[in-house]
Amino acid sequence: MRGGLTQLQVVYALLLRETKTRFGVNRLGYLWALIEPAIMVCMFAAFYSSYGHVAQGGANVVAFISAGILPYSLFRDTASKCMSGISGNLGLLFYPQVRPLDLVIARAMLEFVTTVVVMTLVLGGVMLWTGNTNIVSILESLFGLSLAAGLGASFGLLCCGLSVYSSNIEVTVPTLLRPMMWFSAVFHAVDTLPTAYRKIILYNPLVHAIEMVRNGWFPGYNARGIDPWYPLFWILVMLFLGLTLERAARRRLELG
C-alpha cells in the first residue's frame, strides 16, 4: 500500500515536471498548446470545405475534423512522447523511486489532459457558435479518446523499451506514424468509404477509437462495424510486451 502511494507521488511529481518542461513557467506556453491544434483543425477544415465535402449526418465541418484530428494527434503525440521517456530523462533514473514506467505514465497523462481541454474548447466553441448543443453520449466520446490515448501509451511503452536496445527506434517510428493519418478515417466517416476499403481500414484499431468519438458526439452519426474490444485487445497485447521490455530495459540500465 505504501509502495503504491509512493509511486503515485512519483508520477505526480513527474507530471508537474513534464508540464513545466513542455509549457514553460508562463501562460503563453499553455495558450500555445491550445492555439496550435486549433489552427491545424481550421486549416484542414478549410481545405475540406473548399472541395465541397459535407460531413456525415450534417455535422459541422470544423467539429467533424476536430473529432478526427484530435484523437489521432493524441495517439501520435502520446506514442512519440512515451517512446522518448527514457532517453529524455536518463538523469532521473538514478533515483531508485523513479522507474521507466513512471515516466511513460506521466507523459501519457499530460497528453490526454491537454487533448481533452483542447477538444472541449474547440467542440464547445462550435456548439455555442451553431447553437446545436445536442450530444449523443459524452461518455462514449471520452471512452474513444481514452482508447486513442491507451493505444498511443502502450505503443509508446513498447517502443520505449526497444529504444534501449536501438537508438534508431526514436527516429524511424515517428516518421512511420505521419502517413498513418491518411489510413485512420480522420477526414472521412468509415461508413462513406467503399466496402472493400472499409474492411481494410477497420483493421486499424485507431479507426475504432476515432469513430467512437464521433458516434458519441454527433446526433445521426452512424458508426457501423466499430468494436471497442478490438483496440482494447491491441492495448493489452502492447502493454504486455511493453511491460516485459520495460522490466528488461530497467535491468539493462541498472547494469549500465
- Give me the pLDDT at residue 140, please: 93
Long-range own/partner contacts, residues 191-198 (CB < 8 A, 24 or more apart): 191/56, 191/222, 191/223, 191/224, 192/56, 198/225
Residue 124 corresponds to which cell in the numbers above?
464547445
Please answer whether residues 60 and 126 qualify as being in contact, where contact means their C-beta atoms are separated by less than 8 angstroms. yes
| pLDDT exceeds 60 at position 28 | yes
**Measured distance CA(117)–CA(31) in Å, rounded:** 11
Range picked from 12-21, 166-175, 176-185, 200-209 for highest mean pLDDT: 200-209
Share of the chain above pLDDT 70, in %: 89
| Range with top average pLDDT, 21-30, 110-119, 218-227 | 110-119
pLDDT value, residue 41? 83
Q: What is the pLDDT of residue 44?
A: 83
User: In the predicted model, what is the mean pLDDT of residues 164-192?
Assistant: 85
> What angle (nearest 5°) sits at the alpha carbon of residue 187, between those of residues 183 and 192?
85
Give the pLDDT mean for 84-110: 79
The mean predicted confidence, pLDDT, of the chain is: 84
Q: Is pLDDT of 227 > 60?
A: yes
Q: What's the chain's length in residues? A: 256
Which pLDDT band, with edges at 50, 70 and 90, does 52 fall under?
low
User: CA 146 to CA 148: how far, in whole Å?
Assistant: 5
Instruction: Report whether 142 contacts 66 (CB < 8 A).
Output: no
Of 92, 105, 89, 76, nearest to 239 by C-alpha is: 105
- Between helix 138-163 and helix 61-83 the angle, nearest 10°, is 30
Of 130, 131, 139, the C-alpha closest to 213 is: 139
- Answer whether 191's CB lies under 8 Å from 223's CB: yes
Q: What's the pLDDT at 210? A: 95
Q: Is the pTM of this model over 0.75?
A: yes
Task: Summarize the confidence of residues 59-75 as an average pLDDT.
Answer: 89
User: For residue 27, what pLDDT band results from cuts at 50, 70 and 90?
Assistant: low
Q: CA-based Rg of the chain, rounded to a whole angstrom?
A: 19
Model confidence at 1: pLDDT above 70: no
pLDDT band at 204 (very low <50, low <70, confident <90, very high): very high
Supply the pLDDT for residue 205: 96
